[in-house]
């Protein structure tokens, strides 16, 4: 059972991503911003963060940094999903500790495959 946490302030986007990455074998957690994500993640087993960039309270970049500084969460991979495709945003995401960067709206199949690969479920469908 793997847990994927979707962090995005837009509930539509959360729902869309949830629809894409949900499988019977996965637990999907949702958070509206970085603060909520950290609160929920600490004390839970999270296997992957899907993180939006632009969010109130704590944005995606900050969240990445916080996750990387946190002993309990450090090893969790992070996929950043941003509206902006500009290279410097990807650059910044990687500097903050993201493992992978994708642009919105994400290609449905691509997101599915990437998530499967990252959490180590066979990508063969």
For the beta carbon of residue 14, count every other beta carbon within 10 angstroms: 19
Name the 3-class secondary structure at 81: strand
Cα 119 from Cα 121, distance rounded (Å): 6
User: Coil, helix or strand for 11?
Assistant: helix
Nearest distance from residue 73's CB to another protein, in Å? 9
- Contact segment (CB under 8 A) with another protein among 3-11, 23-31, 34-42 equals 3-11
Q: Residue 29 or 84: which CB sits closer to another protein?
A: 84
Which of 6, 78, 80, 89 contacts another protein by CB under 8 A? 78
Residue 62 within binding range of another protein, rule CB under 8 A: no
CA–CA distance, 16 with 18 (Å, rounded to integer) = 5
Tell me which of 13, 37, 38, 63 binds another protein, using CB under 8 A.
Answer: 13
């Amino acid at each position: 059972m793997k847990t994927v946490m979707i962090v995005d302030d837009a509930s539509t986007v959360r729902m869309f991503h949830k629809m894409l990455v949900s499988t019977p074998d996965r637990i999907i957690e949702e958070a509206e911003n970085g603060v909520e994500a950290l609160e929920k993640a600490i004390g839970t087993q999270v296997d992957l963060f899907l993180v939006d960039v632009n969010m109130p309270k704590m944005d995606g970049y900050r969240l990445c940094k916080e996750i990387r500084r946190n002993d309990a969460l450090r090893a969790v991979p992070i996929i950043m999903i941003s509206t902006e495709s500009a290279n410097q945003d990807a650059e910044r995401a990687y500097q903050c500790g993201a493992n992978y960067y994708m642009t919105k709206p994400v290609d449905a199949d691509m997101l599915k495959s990437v998530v499967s690969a990252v959490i180590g479920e066979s990508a063969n469908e």
